[in-house]
Structure 1
Amino acid sequence: MPSQALKNRQKGLVLLISLIVLVVMTLAAIALVRSMIGSNQIANNLALRQGTTAAADIALEKARFWLVDRSQVAPTELNSASDNNGYSPTNTANPIAGNAWAGGINWVWANPQTGNAPLAQARRNEALNANGYRAAYFIQRSCSTAGQKTPNRSACDLQKMSPNEPEGNSEYQMIYKITVRIEGPKDTVTFYQATLF
């Protein structure tokens, strides 16, 4: 049978071990909570990114639709600016200033409703889509001057349609740049750019 002194020592040792286990469990619980907070932040960031990408994709498609329609129906309209449609026949150096449009850029809101007609800058409230995003766009032709351009040597950036074709037989296509600005929840602002030819 163990002596009385040995029993007292064992009780103190059990208390010390249980305190150490309690501290370890507390640290594990804190780490778990921090991990869950980090996971929630990552999921939130991914959701915001997907929302802005979806809104930008719709705006790019609406701008592309207008550009293709004008190039087929009335190609001469692409020789001059169309402020109501967010179009410039010249390549502005940079349409972005910080997280806003640069001064003098005639951008338009992408209409979140059915149809491809853009909304004027003053119609901000109508540009809000069902997910809480607003998309605005600006289309630029990659030319240094306005007016009608010939496909070759026209002070424009051109895309060769058949890369393997000899220079004399080649056809060239105008290059257009579409810049999209997305305003999202929590005052987020994101820009996207696409090049079309």
Structure 2
Amino acid sequence: MRGCAMLVVASKSSQRGLVLFVALIALVVMSLASVALIRSVDTSSQITGNLAFKQSTAITSSYGLEAMADTIGGQLKSYAFTNDPSNGYYAVCTTFDSGATGQCNGENLTLSTTWSDANSKLATGAGIANGKDPYGNTIRYVVERMCNQNGDVSKERCMMAASPDPDSSKRGCGFCIFKPPVAEPLPIYRVTVRIVGPRNTVSYVQAFVS
């Protein structure tokens, strides 16, 4: 009888040990599942935040373009023939298009490594305070004349906007006594807007104007 009692006690102790082991495994599984759920929610939040930032960037970029137009837009044709970093203006495009030969094409654009507050201009205008829009994005821009040299604008050193074909006007009016005026080719300018979000996210938007 004593031997049977000892066997029953040993069996109960083994069962309690097994139950404890199973409970620990279940606790570990639940902990891992909780961590995975938290990471999934965090990833979803980041994706949602990135999409929201991209949407606000599209809106914010217009502030930079409008600020450029208000500041020097009316002077693009006759603006300085030399660099003016304090106003975010560059008469040659090789400052950011490093290694460019001939007329700049953007293949060597290195804005991410060469951009600084000293060589760009804070956006100003309606809805912008200290370079920030209502969404908290900081807006800066640079304007580059698509020329590979300082000085006067010429087809040899600058990218030019195509001028209208004068013969097209003559064909439209049949026989014209007076020759229609030919528009002077204008240089092309590359406007780059850099937007830094509240979470230090960075986005670039570019436009070409003439």
Provide TM-score, normalisation by structure 1.
0.61
1:63 to 2:63 alignment: no
Once the two structures are superposed, residues 35-70 of structure 1 have per-residue CA deviations (whole angstroms, 9 ceiling, x without a partner) of 977765543222111112222111012113333221
Q: CA deviation at 1:142?
A: 0.6
Asked if 1:48 is matched to 2:48, the reply is no
Q: How does 1:160-175 map to 2 (within 5 A)?
A: 160-162=162-164, 164-165=165-166, 171-175=184-188
Asked if 1 retains the 8 angstrom alpha-carbon contact of 2:127 and 2:133, the reply is no
Aligned equivalent of 1:156: 158
In the alignment, is residue 180 of structure 1 matched against residue 193 of structure 2? yes
The answer on whether the counterparts of 1:89 and 1:145 sit within 8 Å (CA) in structure 2 is: yes
127, 130, 155: which one pairs with 2:131? 127
Considering fraction of residues, name the structure with more strand. Answer: 1
RMSD of the alignment, in Å?
A: 3.5
SS in 2 for 1:177: strand
Q: Given the alignment of the two structures, is residue 139 of structure 1 paired with residue 143 of structure 2, yes or no?
A: yes
Aligned equivalents of 2:39, 2:138: Cα separation in 1:
33
Larger radius of gyration: 2
Contact 2:93 2:147 in 1 (8 A): yes
* Aligned twin of 1:114: 126
Which sections of structure 1, spanning at least 5 residues, go unmatched? 1-29, 117-124
CA contact (8 A) 1:160 1:171 kept: no
SS where residue 158 of structure 1 aligns? coil
Runs of 5+ unmatched residues, structure 2: 1-33, 98-108, 168-181
Give the corresponding residue for 1:17.
Answer: none
Do structure 1's residue 194 and structure 2's residue 207 form an aligned pair?
yes
Q: Shift of the alpha carbon at 1:98?
A: 6.5
Equivalent position SS for 1:195: strand
Pair 1:77-2:79 in alignment: yes
**Cα separation, 1, equivalents of 2:45 and 2:38:** 11
Kindly provide the amino acid, as one letter, of the partner of residue 74 in structure 2. Answer: D
Post-superposition offset of 1:165: 4.6
Check the 8 A contact 2:123/2:141 in 1, yes or no: yes
Q: Secondary structure at the match of 1:192?
A: strand
2:18 aligned residue: none
- Counterpart code for 2:144: Q
Q: What is the CA deviation profile of residues 109-168 of structure 1, one whole-angstrom value per residue up to 9, with x for unaligned ones?
A: 112x4399xxxxxxxx92233211001111000111111224xx3411111122x456xx
- The alignment's TM-score, normalised by the length of structure 2, stands at 0.58
Work out the CA distance in 2 between the residues paired with 1:84 and 1:53: 26
SS in structure 2 at match of 1:126: coil
